[in-house]
Amino acid sequence: GAGVSQSPRYKVAKRGQDVALRCDPISGHVSLFWYQQALGQGPEFLTYFQNEAQLDKSGLPSDRFFAERPEGSVSTLKIQRTQQEDSAVYLCASSLWGSPQETQYFGPGTRLLVL
Amino acid sequence: GDSVTQMEGPVTLSEEAFLTINCTYTATGYPSLFWYVQYPGEGLQLLLKATKADDKGSNKGFEATYRKETTSFHLEKGSVQVSDSAVYFCALKSGGSNYKLTFGKGTLLTVNP
């Protein structure tokens, strides 16, 4: 596709439920990023992949968060045993290589509400 | 660590007014600087960027100049339109961790006709 796509766009989960959020990056983009955006805040970095390798997961808030990109294209962010504080918009971005000057292209986000 | 401080909003202007949104940063090395915009109901879009000191990024009438001496990257537009109403985010990628973006909290701009 022309841009980064994410699904689902909205997800309502009951506390304790597991969720999986999908990201399809721009075709051919090596680098993929996940960010978390709380209401009224700027996005915060969660994790970074270069191809299938997860090079940085320092932003994942707890061991309930897990991300993968097994074939170096589509990525899934999984949250186990969701908590209310996990409610946020989860943004995926991709860039061609990941160099400092490159633009990161963002998807529309998945809005997660945990009840 | 890296950080970005943006002018707090919301900012409300009349059409054709002059816009400035201040942004200052703290970073390792020589960062690349970005302004992203989020229109209502849409995703983040790159508005402009600058990758070295004294560079000026520009797009859609918006400008920002990378000022290393003041660690600033203020966003300006000479004459805003109603369609510019959005949330604006200043962001950086530093030399220390040159792949992830560090964002400010965002500034909501509302332009009235």
Q: What is the pLDDT of residues B21-71, one digit of tens each?
A: 999 999 878 899 999 999 988 889 999 999 999 999 999 999 999 999 999
Choose the closest CB to B43 out of A33, A103, A107: A107
Closest partner CB to A103 (pick from B31, B49, B103)? B49
**Cβ-defined contact of A106 to B101 (cutoff 8 Å):** no
Q: What is the pLDDT of residue A1?
A: 52
Contact call for A48 and B100, based on CB within 8 A:
yes
Q: What is the pLDDT of residue A38?
A: 94
Nearest alpha-carbon partner for A56 in A91, A19, A24, A98: A98
Least confident of A12-16, A67-71, A78-82, A94-98: A94-98
Size of interface A-B (CB pairs under 8 A): 63
Q: Do B49 and A108 touch (CB under 8 A)?
A: no
Structure confidence at residue B91 (pLDDT): 96
What pLDDT is stored for residue A85 in this prediction?
96
CA gap B47, B35 in Å, rounded:
5
Maximum Cα interatomic distance, chain B, rounded to a whole number of Å: 44
Contacts of B101 in chain A (CB under 8 A): 33, 35, 43, 45, 93, 104
- For residues B15-53, one letter each, b for 16 or more C-beta atoms within 10 angstroms of the residue's C-beta and e for the rest, the string is eeeebebbbbbebeeebbbbbbbbeeeebbebbbbbbee
Q: What confidence score (pLDDT) does residue B8 get?
A: 84
Q: Residue B1: pLDDT band by 50, 70, 90 thresholds? A: confident
Q: How far is B72 from chain A (nearest CA, A)?
A: 17
Q: pLDDT, tens digit, for every residue of A25-55?
A: 999 999 999 999 999 899 999 999 999 999 9
The predicted pLDDT at position B40 comes to 86
